[in-house]
Amino acid sequence: MERISCEVLVLGAGPGGYVAAIRAAQLGLDTVIVEKSRTGGTCLNVGCVPSKALIHAADEFYAAVGATGGNSIGVYVEKPSLDWSKTQSWKDGVVSGLNRGVDGLLKKSGAKMVAGAGRMVDGKTCVVETGNGDIRITAKNVILAPGSVPVELPGLPFAGAVISSTEALSLQRVPGKLAVVGGGYIGLELGIAFAKLGSEVAIIEATGQLLPQYDEALSAPVAKRLKDLGIAVHLSSRARGIVEDGAKLEFETEGEGTSQIAVEKVLVTVGRKPNLLGWGLEELQLDMSGDRILVDETCKTSMTGVYAIGDVTGEPMLAHRAMAQAEVAAEVIAGKKRVFDPVSVPAICFTDPEIISVGLLPNEAEKSGLDIVVANFPLSANSRAMTLESRSGFVRVVARKDNGLVLGIQATGKQISELSASFSLALEMGACLEDIARTIHAHPTQSEAFPEAAMMALGRGLHI
120-141 confidence digits (pLDDT tens) = 999 999 999 999 999 999 999 9
Which range, of 66-70, 242-246, 394-398, averages the lowest pLDDT? 242-246
Instruction: Name the band, by pLDDT with cuts 50, 70 and 90, for residue 43.
Output: very high
Nearest Cα residue to 219 out of 113, 306, 347, 116: 347
Q: Amino acid identity, residue 53? A: A
Instruction: Name the band, by pLDDT with cuts 50, 70 and 90, for residue 233.
Output: very high
Angle of helix 84-109 versus helix 48-66 axis, rounded to 10: 150
The average pLDDT across 380-409 equals: 95
Cis bond before residue 316 (omega within 30° of 0): yes
Q: Report angle CA 247, 185, 362 to the nearest 5 degrees.
A: 140
Catalytic site residue from 56, 234, 443, 463:
443
Cα gap 351→190, rounded to integer Å: 8
Share of residues in the chain with pLDDT > 90 (%)? 96
pTM of the entire predicted model: 0.95
Cis bond before residue 362 (omega within 30° of 0): no
pLDDT tens digits, one per residue of 191-204:
999 999 999 999 99
Instruction: Name the band, by pLDDT with cuts 50, 70 and 90, for residue 244.
Output: confident
pLDDT tens digits, one per residue of 264-310:
999 999 999 999 999 999 999 999 999 999 999 999 999 999 999 99
Cα gap 185→318, rounded to integer Å: 12
pLDDT tens digits, one per residue of 61-99:
999 999 998 889 999 999 899 999 999 999 999 999 999
H or E segment to which residue 112 belongs: strand 112-115
pLDDT (0 to 100) of residue 340? 98
Is residue 433 pLDDT above 90, yes or no?
Answer: yes
pLDDT tens digits, one per residue of 139-173:
999 999 999 999 999 999 999 999 999 999 999 99
**Domains recognised in the chain with CATH numbers:** 2-149+273-333 (3.50.50.60), 162-270 (3.50.50.60), 347-457 (3.30.390.30)
Is residue 390 pLDDT above 90, yes or no?
Answer: no
- The rounded mean pLDDT for the chain is 96
pLDDT (0 to 100) of residue 245? 80
Is the separation of the CB atoms in 237 and 206 below 8 Å? Answer: yes
The average pLDDT across 327-337 equals: 98
Is residue 27 pLDDT above 90, yes or no?
Answer: yes
* Annotation marks residue 463 as catalytic: no
pLDDT (0 to 100) of residue 391? 79
